[in-house]
Structure 1
Amino acid sequence: MAHGGFLRQHSDDPEFSSHIMHDYTQVDLDEQTRGMLDFAVKLTKNPSGNKKEDVERLRSLGLDDQQILSTVLITCCFNFMTRLADGLGVEIQENRVEAAKRWMSADVQGMSWLMDRKEE
């Protein structure tokens, strides 16, 4: 299932979800949600372009390290799965999607090593 279909299926407001998928910048979102989406888009389109300032921006919007890590992990997982499926010309099996969802919803507190700062 495409990401847009997944979002509409699991949303309380399918019309709003459609607007998000079409162009989230034109939707009335709170600053924190828009900041997370901007970050995810930048990470998707230009991974090496994300800098310490981008993470600090998320913190200034009220996200803690666990929420920032979750944003990065979910973005990376979706990018990986999409590229894997597209590269192979296949659809991901539903049981694999379920496994990915379980992994993405797991507590990331024990993954503090992922938040070690990069040397500049």
Structure 2
Amino acid sequence: MRDFRSAPISDADKAMLAYAEKLTLAPSEMREEDVQVLRAHGFSDRAILDMNLVAGIYNVLDRLVDGLGGELHEWMHSEAERLGIAGWKPGSPAG
């Protein structure tokens, strides 16, 4: 998905992806208002916790692999090319 903001997905999904994007790219800027937006879209505190856990785990793993000079396995290159059609590049944050 190149741009989730204009994608044909629900407003709740857009809010979730915006939250994950901000958590990934600007974690020090997270505020209570970000959580309130999710609650307004019907997400429970458990669902919000799960969002944080999933985003956090992927962010930590991405940084560990990048920091250790990790390389994609051969089979991952074709998947990376497929995802590249959607705007993703190897080494860039998910989202």
- What is the TM-score with the length of structure 1 in the denominator? 0.57
Aligned to 2:26: 46
- The C-alpha deviation readout for 1:43-70, integer Å capped at 9, x for no partner, is 1111010100100110000000110000
Q: Percent identity?
A: 37
Count of aligned pairs between the two proteins: 73
Measure how far apart 1:24 and its partner are. 1.8
In 2, distance between residues paired with 1:32 and 1:86?
31
> Which structure ranks higher in relative contact order (CA pairs < 8 Å, sequence separation ≥ 6)?
2
Measure how far apart 1:25 and its partner are. 2.0
Q: Does 1:58 align with 2:38?
A: yes
In 2, distance between residues paired with 1:75 and 1:30?
20
Aligned to 1:101: none
The one-letter code of the counterpart of 2:36 is E
Residue 63 (structure 2) aligned to one of 83, 96, 100: 83
Give unpaired runs (5+ residues) of structure 1: 1-19, 94-120
Give unpaired runs (5+ residues) of structure 2: 74-95
- The C-alpha deviation readout for 1:54-110, integer Å capped at 9, x for no partner, is 0011000000011000001101111110011011011589xxxxxxxxxxxxxxxxx
Distance of aligned partners of 1:53 and 1:87 in 2 relative to their CA distance in 1, 3 Å threshold? same
- What is the TM-score with the length of structure 2 in the denominator? 0.71
Cα RMSD for the two superposed structures: 1.6
- The C-alpha deviation readout for 1:12-59, integer Å capped at 9, x for no partner, is xxxxxxxx2x22223111011000000000011110101001001100
Displacement over 4 Å in runs of 4+ = none
